[in-house]
Amino acid sequence: MIITIPLVIIICVVFALVFLFVKTIDRRKWLTILVSLALTPLVYFYAVYPMINIFTNFHHQKHFTMELWQETPALRYELSDDLISSEKLIGKTKEEIENLLGKAEWLSWNEKAKAHNDNKWNYSLGIEPGAFNTKKECLEVVFTDGLVTNVNPYKETITFDAKE
């Protein structure tokens, strides 16, 4: 574990709260400090740290590789930032994209033509962890004249199929 300033501040706050709680049980200072010191790591790692992980939107960023993309489709959101920022897909043909990312999971809808647009391929990136996350991450690969010109990330509302 890396000791950082926010970690020290949070642990100090947890210690103060535990100290105030234990102080209501017993007035002896030496016992209150001793019990507070013993309980602070337990309270931090079993209560505070899990709550921080639930309510913050943090996830690991990984470098894009074809193997990771194909082996872990639910964790593609970890690869997407590298894929977009490095512009690895720009200028590639449809065949190259299909070899790298696989077949498009769905095509975008062209409202004017009332048909699917063969030049906009979409891939699901999975669902970012978080307590109040109601959207899934998606990636749209846009082709112009058979070559990738743009890669757009977007979020889509999660829907569940109703059982009949």
Percent of the chain with pLDDT over 70: 96
For the chain, domains (ranges, CATH) are 5-55 (no CATH), 66-157 (3.30.1450)
Asked whether the beta carbons of 149 and 143 are under 8 A apart, the reply is: yes
| Residue range 16-40: mean pLDDT, rounded | 91
The mean pLDDT of the chain is 88
What ranges make up the beta strands (E) of the chain?
106-110, 115-126, 135-144, 147-157
What does the block give as tokens for 109? 């809808």
pLDDT at site 37: 92
- pLDDT (tens digit, 9 = 90+) per residue, 70-105? 898 888 988 988 899 999 999 999 999 999 999 988
Q: Which residues neighbour 68 within 8 Å (Cβ) at sequence distance 6 or greater?
A: 62, 75, 79
